[in-house]
Amino acid sequence: MSTKMIYLQPLPVRIWHWLNALGIVTLCVSGAQIRFPEYVTIIGSYRSAILLHNTAGIIVSLSFSVWFFYYKMVAGTIEDIYVPKKYDLTAGLFRQIVFYFFAYFFGVPNPHHATPDSKFNPLQKSAYLAIMFVLMPLVGLTGILLMNMGPMREIVLLLGGLKILVALHFLLACSLGAFLFTHVYLATLGSTPLAYFKPMWTGWEKVENHGETHH
């Protein structure tokens, strides 16, 4: 079967992705040092870890805001890309789960082929819906409140207090951290282990030349 190159990831998306990746890894490492300074000392002093965590938090929050603003207000495609459709929930999700946890081991190709209009398979859509619309905003908002505990004291108390906020921020961050392992692993499930990494670096993905659009 012939192959062709498609331009899947435009430059702004790639910059956004790697900025987020660097930011989130920095947040995980510095956050671990802030919570467990007895065991994690990767980023020098505790104060450095706090400053780095705050800086990375602001950058990732801004990056998230730009992402939301662009896809919602400018492109208007946020629902198409991230919200699963009826088909995705009734059949697509099941089909994708069967592929990952069964068919893949027998050499069956991925039933979903990414296109610029349909980047994510139904499972990815569901996962990113939870990540981008629940986990990311909540971890960002709790972080912003923690950074501004003085001026936002009354809001924090309304939410149940500082400890509730810290607990929520910590558990949400752990969930994001847990997702990172799955995210990176799933990215190695292409035709070659680096097949899905390349488009996020160069923008171009090599795909089989199908005559029809796959879901």
Residues that bind another protein (CB under 8 A): 34-35, 37-38, 45-47, 50-51, 54, 100-101, 104-107, 147, 149-150, 153, 156-157, 160-164, 166-167, 170-171, 174-175, 177-182, 184-185, 191
Q: What CA–CA distance (Å, rounded) separates 114 from 191?
A: 13
Toward another protein, which CB reaches closer, 51 or 130? 51
Residue closer to another protein by CB (options 14, 183) is 183
Nearest approach in angstroms of CB 10 to another protein is 29
Measured between alpha carbons, how far is residue 43 from residues 34, 36, 48, 187 in Å?
10, 12, 7, 28
Shortest Å, Cβ 22 to another protein: 19
Tell me whether residue 35 or residue 95 sits nearer to another protein (CB atom). Answer: 35
Cβ–Cβ < 8 Å for 82, 120: yes
Least distance in Å: CB of 156 to another protein?
Answer: 8
- Using alpha carbons only, what angle is made at residue 91 by residues 89 and 95, rounded to the nearest 5 degrees? 110
Judge contact between 84 and 125, C-beta under 8 A.
Answer: yes
